[in-house]
Amino acid sequence: MGTLDSLGLKDEVLPVVPPEEIPEEFSAAPPPPYPGVYLWKLDADLSNIWNEPMKVKVDENGIQDREGSKDSERLSGTFDLEIMGSDHGLHIGEAFSTRINTAERNRARKGEPPRHVSDMTYLLQALGDPNPNPGSNKGFGEAVQRHPGQQFKSNLEWTARCSLERQAYYEQEDEAGNSSLQPAVEEDGTTPTNGCGNRYYMNDWPKDESGRYKERKVCTCGASLRPFGQLRNFKPAS
């Protein structure tokens, strides 16, 4: 400890980042609402919730397929939901934002013929829409906009992906035992390490000693992953 003058600092130039280029410090985002069954309320204005169309590949039958040879689009909306109730009594009155789209997936049981249905179809069915599968992206959008302020139920489950395109963060302790998330780097000390590509679902999520789900999961590659909330099993509000 001492005054600046007593330190004998060298007169050397330090690297400078212009103020407009100083990045924000990394801080872990809070987890989504705790897994469970929720009663949701749609926003009163559904006219401005739509994202840029999703670009997908489809097969010769127009079904979404990563290996498909044709280009197609699917509608995606960002829904700002209000939590009206939950089976565990948590998060009531809070807001939750999620994306729901028209990208179809095979929902048939093993051994049954394929049945490709989108989450937006299940949402419309839960809202009591007379035609939950309009057959076009615009038709889906118009159908959703007929249900402002309505309520529905669904499960909220946690998922995570150790992204190949994003820098991975690892939980590290300092000398005082305080834990924080820090980016990993390659052995050269400069190149950030990205994730490994693994995906995790609700049945993969770890629990603590009390049986509650932990706020983060450690990937097999060592990266610390935060959960994302995904709606499943859409049901009518009553």
197 falls within a domain: no
Measured between its terminal Cα atoms, the distance across the chain in Å is 67
- Domain with 50, as residue range(s), is 36-157+232-236
Tens digits of residue pLDDT in 131-169: 999 999 999 999 999 999 999 999 999 999 999 988 888
pTM over the 0.75 mark: yes
Domain count, the chain: 1
pLDDT in tens, 90-119: 999 999 999 999 999 999 999 999 999 999
Contacts of 112 (CB under 8 A, 6+ apart): none
Q: Is residue 78 part of a domain?
A: yes
- Please, which residues have CB within 8 angstroms of residue 70's CB and are 6 or more apart in sequence? 57, 58, 59, 60, 62
Q: Is residue 216 part of a domain?
A: no
Residue 211 lies in a domain: no
Q: Which of 104, 110, 42 is nearest to 73 (CA)?
A: 104
Query: What's the number of CA atoms in the CB half-sphere (13 Å) around residue 47?
Result: 1
